[in-house]
Amino acid sequence: MLIKILGSGCAKCERLEQLTRQVVADLGLTASFEHVREIDRIMAYPVMTTPALVVDEVVKVSGRLPSKEELAGWLRG
Protein backbone atom coordinates (compact mmCIF):
# COMPACT_ATOMS: atom_id res chain seq x y z
CA MET A 1 0.00 0.00 0.00
CA LEU A 2 1.31 3.44 -0.93
CA ILE A 3 0.13 6.33 1.22
CA LYS A 4 0.76 9.92 0.22
CA ILE A 5 0.24 12.95 2.40
CA LEU A 6 -0.29 16.06 0.27
CA GLY A 7 0.64 19.34 1.89
CA SER A 8 3.31 21.95 2.39
CA GLY A 9 4.42 20.62 5.76
CA CYS A 10 2.06 22.63 7.97
CA ALA A 11 1.04 21.37 11.40
CA LYS A 12 -2.15 19.74 10.05
CA CYS A 13 -0.18 17.94 7.32
CA GLU A 14 2.28 16.61 9.88
CA ARG A 15 -0.57 15.54 12.18
CA LEU A 16 -2.31 13.69 9.31
CA GLU A 17 0.88 11.77 8.61
CA GLN A 18 1.34 10.97 12.30
CA LEU A 19 -2.27 9.76 12.67
CA THR A 20 -2.07 7.67 9.52
CA ARG A 21 1.18 6.03 10.57
CA GLN A 22 -0.35 5.24 13.95
CA VAL A 23 -3.44 3.61 12.41
CA VAL A 24 -1.29 1.60 9.97
CA ALA A 25 0.74 0.30 12.93
CA ASP A 26 -2.38 -0.40 15.02
CA LEU A 27 -3.88 -2.45 12.17
CA GLY A 28 -0.62 -4.30 11.53
CA LEU A 29 -0.53 -3.19 7.90
CA THR A 30 2.49 -2.67 5.68
CA ALA A 31 2.62 0.66 3.88
CA SER A 32 5.06 3.01 2.21
CA PHE A 33 4.68 6.70 2.99
CA GLU A 34 5.47 9.73 0.84
CA HIS A 35 4.95 13.34 1.88
CA VAL A 36 4.29 15.39 -1.27
CA ARG A 37 5.17 19.04 -0.63
CA GLU A 38 5.68 20.36 -4.17
CA ILE A 39 2.71 22.41 -5.39
CA ASP A 40 2.93 21.12 -8.96
CA ARG A 41 2.76 17.50 -7.75
CA ILE A 42 -0.12 18.28 -5.36
CA MET A 43 -2.03 19.92 -8.21
CA ALA A 44 -1.88 16.65 -10.15
CA TYR A 45 -4.56 15.35 -7.74
CA PRO A 46 -8.19 16.51 -7.61
CA VAL A 47 -7.82 18.37 -4.31
CA MET A 48 -8.62 21.99 -3.57
CA THR A 49 -7.23 22.16 -0.05
CA THR A 50 -4.60 20.41 2.03
CA PRO A 51 -3.86 18.35 3.93
CA ALA A 52 -4.96 15.48 1.74
CA LEU A 53 -4.59 11.74 2.05
CA VAL A 54 -4.05 9.55 -1.02
CA VAL A 55 -4.09 5.76 -0.68
CA ASP A 56 -2.91 3.79 -3.72
CA GLU A 57 -3.54 6.86 -5.90
CA VAL A 58 -7.13 7.36 -4.64
CA VAL A 59 -7.85 10.59 -2.75
CA LYS A 60 -9.58 9.67 0.51
CA VAL A 61 -9.88 13.08 2.17
CA SER A 62 -8.74 16.67 1.71
CA GLY A 63 -8.99 19.85 3.71
CA ARG A 64 -9.55 18.24 7.11
CA LEU A 65 -8.16 15.74 9.58
CA PRO A 66 -10.15 12.49 9.60
CA SER A 67 -10.85 10.49 12.73
CA LYS A 68 -8.87 7.35 13.51
CA GLU A 69 -12.02 5.33 12.75
CA GLU A 70 -12.33 6.89 9.29
CA LEU A 71 -8.65 6.21 8.59
CA ALA A 72 -8.97 2.60 9.72
CA GLY A 73 -11.96 2.07 7.43
CA TRP A 74 -10.13 3.43 4.40
CA LEU A 75 -6.94 1.52 5.12
CA ARG A 76 -8.67 -1.82 5.67
CA GLY A 77 -10.14 -1.46 2.19
CATH number at residue 17: 3.40.30.10
Q: Total structural domains in the chain?
A: 1
Please provide residue 63's backbone torsions phi and psi, each rounded to the nearest 5 degrees.
85, 0
Residue 30's domain spans which residues?
2-76
Dist. CA 22–CA 32, nearest whole Å: 13
Q: Which amino acid is at 35?
A: H
**Those residues with Cβ within 8 angstroms of residue 70's Cβ, 6 or more apart along the chain or in another chain:** 61
- pLDDT tier at 77, thresholds 50, 70, 90: confident
Q: Which of the following is catalytic: 1, 2, 9, 10?
A: 10
pTM comes to 0.94
Query: Mean pLDDT across the stretch 42-69?
Result: 97
User: Does 67 qualify as catalytic in the annotation?
Assistant: no
Angle at 38 between CA 56 and CA 59, to 5 degrees: 25
**Does 13 participate in catalysis according to the annotation?**
yes
Can you tell me the mean pLDDT for 57-73?
97
Task: Name the active-site residue from 6, 13, 71, 75.
Answer: 13
- Averaged pLDDT of the chain: 96
